[in-house]
């Protein structure tokens, strides 16, 4: 595999179980040695120049194994000591308070980790990674166990980290909707090989030869639907009550043409939009091309 991640990107690392995602992350972190090829983090080899390579890199694992007899405050105090943060108690306490508030568990600061829910432990794992303002975050399934509000909050945290602070986020995930809404680019790995890598929209267009439009309107007639079918590149229409799923060959945006037809027909147009789950479709299609007949996600 050949993969380069630039500063300031939020990269989604996608692939089925056993495809090599965790192995790749371990190589980046210098936890295992590459049998061939080279790995560079900030220009340094994470094996021979471990400290220099990873000085500003933070990691949150998929299944954090934290010391359950500690409280979040006690755990982060240990982390701050290991990171060599300012030794003054006020400085460290302010940093601990900042990251606990950042991930939304400040009210559990003095609760034993053993009593925290899975989602709270996941938040704490990200909190320890955010200590000391790192420049690179490597996250293995960071949204696992989070409720919808928690996932939305983390998206904002990671966006701000990348856009306002110039940080880089490299995250593996199986939650396609999160990746599509958050990441600036994606890499799809299978069998230890990168199948696709690039901006989210570019990867979708490389893999899929079609796009999907959802139309919601009241008063649609068969005649109007028939005229929509006649639009060049419209290949299929699936009615769903007052809604239509419209399959368009290629990636030409035909929404203006469809909207014009609907309005002129006298129907009430409520919404017309591109489908939001195209990355999941592209991901499944990419893997099916590698393993014909197999649907893996």
pLDDT at 297: 33
What pTM does this model have? 0.85
Measured in Å, how far apart are the chain's first and last C-alpha atoms?
A: 21
66 neighbors 121 (Cβ within 8 angstroms): yes
Query: Could you please report the per-residue DSSP string of 165-190?
Result: T--EEEEE-S-HHHHHHH-SEEEEEE
| Closest residue by Cα to residue 209 from 279, 276, 282, 292 | 282
Q: What angle do CA 276, 170, 70 make, to 5 degrees?
A: 110
The average pLDDT across 155-175 equals 92
pLDDT per residue over 78-135, tens digit each? 999 888 887 776 778 899 999 999 999 999 999 999 999 999 999 999 999 999 889 9
pLDDT at 291: 65
pLDDT at 138: 96
What is each CA distance from 58 to 88, 120, 227, in whole angstroms? 23, 19, 55
Instruction: Answer yes or no: is pLDDT of 161 > 60.
Output: yes
Instruction: Answer yes or no: is pLDDT of 265 > 80.
Output: yes
pLDDT at 289: 81
Q: Which residues, at least 6 apart from 290, have a Cβ–Cβ distance to it below 8 Å?
A: 190, 191, 195
Domains and CATH numbers, the chain: 10-204 (3.40.50.300), 208-280 (3.30.70.100)
pLDDT per residue over 245-258, tens digit each? 999 998 889 999 99
> Residue 283 — very low, low, confident or very high, per pLDDT cuts 50/70/90?
very high
pLDDT at 294: 45
Neighbours of 175 (CB within 10 A): 18
Using CA atoms, how far apart are residues 260 and 293, in angstroms rounded to an integer? Answer: 40
58: enclosing H helix or E strand: strand 57-60
Instruction: Answer yes or no: is pLDDT of 296 > 60.
Output: no
């Amino acid at each position: 595999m050949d993969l380069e991640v630039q500063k300031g990107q939020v990269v989604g690392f996608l692939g089925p179980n056993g495809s090599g995602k965790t192995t790749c992350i371990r190589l980046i972190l210098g936890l295992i040695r590459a049998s061939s090829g080279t790995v560079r983090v900030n220009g340094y080899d994470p094996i021979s120049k471990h400290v220099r390579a990873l000085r500003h890199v933070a990691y949150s694992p998929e299944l954090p194994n934290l010391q359950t007899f500690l409280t979040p405050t006690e755990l982060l105090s240990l982390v701050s000591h290991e990171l060599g943060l300012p030794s003054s108690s006020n400085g460290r306490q302010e940093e601990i308070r900042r990251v606990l508030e950042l991930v939304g568990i400040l009210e559990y600061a003095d609760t034993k980790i053993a009593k925290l829910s899975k989602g709270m432990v996941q938040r704490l794992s990200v909190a320890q990674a955010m200590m000391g303002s790192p420049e690179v975050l490597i996250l293995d399934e960071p949204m696992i166990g989070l409720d919808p509000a928690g996932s939305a909050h983390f998206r904002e945290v990671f966006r701000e980290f990348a856009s306002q602070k110039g940080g880089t986020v490299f995250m593996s995930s199986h939650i396609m909707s999160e990746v599509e809404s958050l990441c600036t680019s994606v890499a799809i790995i299978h069998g230890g090989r990168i199948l696709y890598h690039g901006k989210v929209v570019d990867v979708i267009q490389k893999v899929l030869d079609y796009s999907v439009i959802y139309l919601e309107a009241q008063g649609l007639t068969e005649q109007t639907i028939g005229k929509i079918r006649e639009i060049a590149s419209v290949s299929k229409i699936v009615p769903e009550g007052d809604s239509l799923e419209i399959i368009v060959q290629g990636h030409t945006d035909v929404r203006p043409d469809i909207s014009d037809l609907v309005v002129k027909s006298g129907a009430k147009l409520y919404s017309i939009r591109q489908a939001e789950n195209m990355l999941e479709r592209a991901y499944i299609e990419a893997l099916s091309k590698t393993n014909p007949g197999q649907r893996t996600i």
